[in-house]
């Protein structure tokens, strides 16, 4: 159905935001996290793993500077607190999801926390506006490129927002 009670979705959205508030707040009130000591320790401790995976030595040296770790820690805290509130704001929701995808992709690349990242990406689907087949895409079935575009749209339209169908002339 295209409409219905959304209380369960809103409750799940709120839970996602509560997780961001809790995580960002706990880091904000932890002096070691806030100063960057936690991130610096992680970067120093696992630097050899990064080098083994092809990270250039100068890049690793850059991230192992206390001032860079401090800046990254403050950025992580600010990002989590931003996401906690921006995801609930309709005008900020799309930019927040973009920031969240970039943020969690960076976490995944640097820390490999698979389940956490994948769960977060899935949770972002809760913030999609429920508008089943609200958009139309009509294509010329005689053109190869148009058929290819229609197939790509159908395969990437995981939330069923597009009604993809061949174009038909209007009746006279």
Per-residue pLDDT reduced to its tens digit, 112-136: 777 888 889 899 988 887 777 888 9
> Residue range 129-147: average pLDDT?
88
CB atoms closer than 10 angstroms to residue 127: 19
| SS3 of residue 11 by DSSP | helix
% of the chain surpassing 70 pLDDT: 97
- Residue 163, C-beta contacts closer than 8 angstroms, at least 6 positions apart: 133, 135, 136, 137
Residue 89 DSSP symbol:
S
Full-model pTM: 0.75
pLDDT digits (tens, 9 = 90+) for 11-23: 999 999 999 999 9
pLDDT digits (tens, 9 = 90+) for 62-88: 999 999 999 999 999 999 999 999 999
Which position has the higher pLDDT, 74 or 48? 74
pLDDT at 79 (0 to 100)? 97
* Distance separating alpha carbons of residues 34 and 31, to the nearest angstrom: 5
pLDDT at 3 over 60: no
pLDDT at 155 (0 to 100)? 93
* Distance separating alpha carbons of residues 123 and 116, to the nearest angstrom: 10
Q: Quick one: pLDDT band at residue 92, thresholds 50, 70, 90?
A: very high
pLDDT at 134 (0 to 100)? 84
- DSSP output for 126-145: GGS---TT-EEEEE-TT-HH
% of the chain surpassing 90 pLDDT: 60
Residue 165 DSSP symbol:
E
């Amino acid at each position: 159905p295209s409409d219905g009670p959304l209380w369960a979705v809103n409750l799940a959205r709120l839970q996602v935001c509560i997780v961001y508030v809790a995580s960002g707040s706990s880091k904000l009130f932890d002096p070691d996290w806030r100063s960057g000591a936690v991130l610096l320790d992680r970067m120093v401790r696992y630097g050899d793993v990064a080098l083994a995976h092809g990270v250039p030595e100068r890049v690793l040296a850059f991230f192992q500077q206390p001032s860079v770790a401090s800046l990254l820690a403050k950025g992580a805290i600010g990002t989590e607190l931003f996401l906690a509130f921006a995801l609930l704001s309709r005008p900020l929701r799309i930019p927040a999801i973009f920031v969240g995808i970039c943020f969690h992709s960076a976490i995944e690349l640097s820390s490999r926390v698979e389940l956490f990242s994948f769960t977060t990406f899935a949770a972002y689907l809760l913030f999609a506006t429920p508008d089943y087949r609200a958009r139309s895409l009509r294509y010329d079935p005689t053109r190869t490129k148009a058929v290819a575009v229609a197939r790509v749209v159908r395969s990437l339209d995981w939330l069923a927002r597009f009604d993809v169908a061949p174009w038909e002339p209007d009746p006279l």
